Amino acid sequence: MSDEIIRVENLTFEYPDTAVLKDVSFTLHRGDFLGIIGANGTGKSTLIKIILGLLKPDSGKIRLFGGELSRARSRVGYVSQKANSFNAGFPTTVGEVVRANLFSKKGLFRRYTKADDARVLEALELVGMSEYKNKPIGALSGGQQQRVFIARALAAEPELLLMDEPTVGIDAASVSEIMEIIKRLNSDGMTIIMTNHDTPALLDAANKLLIFCEHGYEEFVNKADLSFERIADILAGKRVHRHG
């Protein structure tokens, strides 16, 4: 299918002394929003790292845009958990933080152009931070800094955006602003994969869910097929039944 973004088949992964992912499969198409939920230690970040190509699965395979992972890197964006806050004296500007992510597309020794500046500004506008372009990143609140990091990912114009608990450690008001931004990007056609152990906002935004629990059980569902009671049961480790 031409609008297939990612296909994961029978993915299994263990660290030397911990089995983490067992036989995980799912497929996303353009515009899907996958929420990965589950308690700490159930393998959410491990799955993100495998999709990013930072860890190699023991078995199973991943296709991105119908091809190999290594050929898709420039089409995938990533936003991590909020980095340790920059302190107020940190000299790099907001615009420089965003612009640095254009390196991946330009190669190291090319100069920045006016078009690059326009792209930086556009990315900052998408997260409502354009008026902060020349401010030091350290002068911003944690929530504002995280919005800048979303803009940084957006500057490279990804088709698939991976976010690993992007709102951890951010105040509640900023969390809902950030979720609104992500929902808007999604309704404009960006495919999103997002993890969160704090689930209500994610349940609201996602149309598909991958649910991990302590026993390594996982389930891939369309959100509409799943009641909140059943989600609670799965998170509590009660096996229900497995979807393909």
Ligand X SMILES: Nc1ncnc2c1ncn2[C@@H]1O[C@H](COP(=O)(O)OP(=O)(O)O)[C@@H](O)[C@H]1O
Binding site for ligand X (CB under 6 A): 15, 18, 20, 38, 40-46
CB of 196 to Mg ion, least distance (A): 10
Least gap, CB of 234 to ligand X (angstroms):
14
The Cα 33–Cα 25 span in angstroms is: 16
Chosen from Mg ion, ligand X, none, partner binding at 112 (C-beta under 5 to 8 Å by type):
none
Q: Is 60 exposed, middle or buried (0-12, 13-18, 19+ CB in 10 A)?
A: middle
Nearer to Mg ion, 98 or 178 (CB): 178
**Within a 10 A sphere around the Cβ of 141, how many other Cβ atoms?**
12
CB nearer Mg ion, residue 45 or residue 146: 45
Binding site for Mg ion (CB under 5 A): 44-45
15's contact among Mg ion, ligand X, none, with CB below 5 to 8 A by partner kind, is ligand X
Residue number closest to Mg ion, CB atom: 45
The residue (of 40 and 227) whose beta carbon lies closer to ligand X is: 40
Task: Measure the CA–CA gap between 55 and 215, rounded to whole angstroms.
Answer: 22
Q: Which helix (H) or strand (E) holds 209?
A: strand 208-212
Pick the closer one to Mg ion by CB: 165 or 219: 165
Look-up of token digits 């480790």:
237
Shortest gap between Cβ of 174 and ligand X (angstroms)?
22
190: which residues sit within 8 A by CB, 6+ positions away?
31, 158, 159, 160, 161
